[in-house]
Chains A and B, each alone.
Chain A
Amino acid sequence: MIQILLFGPVADLAGTRKLALGYLPGMTLGDALAQFETRYPQAAAAISFTAINETQVRDRQHLLADRDTLALMAGFSGG
C-alpha cells in the first residue's frame, strides 16, 4: 500500500488530505501520479513537487516501495 498525503491547494482541490493506493512491484512515481491524475485531474494540475518519505523526488521513474508515503504538493508559499 502507498499512502498519499495532500496539503494546501492540492488537498482542497481533491477534497481530501489522505489517500491509499494499492502497491504493485515495479510501480514508479510516474505510475502513482498517473493514477492520481485520472481520479483528480484538477488537483493533479496544481502539483509542483513530490516527496517520498519526506524527501523530494523529481524522477518519475523512481521505484516506489510497499508502504512508502508519497506527498503531492503545490508550490510552497510559507513565510
Chain B
Amino acid sequence: MDDALHHTSPVRLQRDDFSVDAELTLLRNNRPNAGGLACFVGCARDFSGEHRVQHLDFDAYDSMALKVLNILRDEAIAQFGLIDARIIHRTGTIAASEQIVLIATAAEHRAPALHACEWLIDELKRRAPIWKRETTPEGQSWVTPHP
C-alpha cells in the first residue's frame, strides 16, 4: 500500500509512532456536525509492580488483528451513532513513555464520543490478537491479560 495512503487509513497497525494531532485532524476533516471528539492514548509505563520497565515488545497476528479492529470500529460507529472513529496500534519495540495505541471518536455530542472511546479500548484489549512483553533489568516476561 502507498505510504501516504496507509497513514490516512482509520485503522492501522504500524511500527512507527503516530501523531495525535494528525489523527484528530483527519477525524474532524470536513465534518462540521462533529460536536464532540474523544481520544484515548495508551502509553508505555516505566514500571510494572516493583520493576522498572525498560521497553515493551508487541507481537500481533497482523491480518487477524486488522480484521478485528475494523470490526470493532464498525460496531462502535453503529452502536454509538458515531460520525467516525480511528484506531491505531503500534507493534515492535516501544520504549517506556512512548505511545502505544490511539482510539479517537467523533460524534454529534460528547456522551457517545466518550462512551465509544472507552468501549473501543476495552474491546480491543479483549478481542484483538496482540501480545505485550516487558523487559526489565530482571529479564523479560509476557504480560498476563487483565481487565
Residue numbers of A with Cβ under 8 A of B are 5, 7-9, 11-12, 49, 51, 54, 71, 73-79
Contact = CB atoms under 8 A, between A and B. Distances in A.
Contact of B145 (A11, A51, A54, A75): A75
A56 to B, nearest CB: 9
Contacts of B130: 76-79
Interface of B: 42, 58-61, 63-65, 67, 89, 100-101, 121, 124-133, 142-146
Contacts, number: 69
B121 to A, nearest CB: 6
A76 B123 CA distance: 11
A12 B126 CA distance: 21
Given A74-B131, A78-B125, A78-B131, A8 B100 contact: no
A4 B67 CA distance: 19
A78 B128 contact: yes
B60 A7 contact: yes
A9 B142 contact: yes
Contact of B144 (A5, A54, A75): A75
Given A54-B67, A78-B130, 20 more contacts: A7-B131, A8-B59, A9-B131, A9-B142, A11-B59, A12-B142, A49-B129, A74-B142, A75-B144, A76-B125, A76-B129, A76-B145, A77-B131, A77-B144, A77-B145, A77-B146, A78-B89, A78-B132, A79-B101, A79-B125
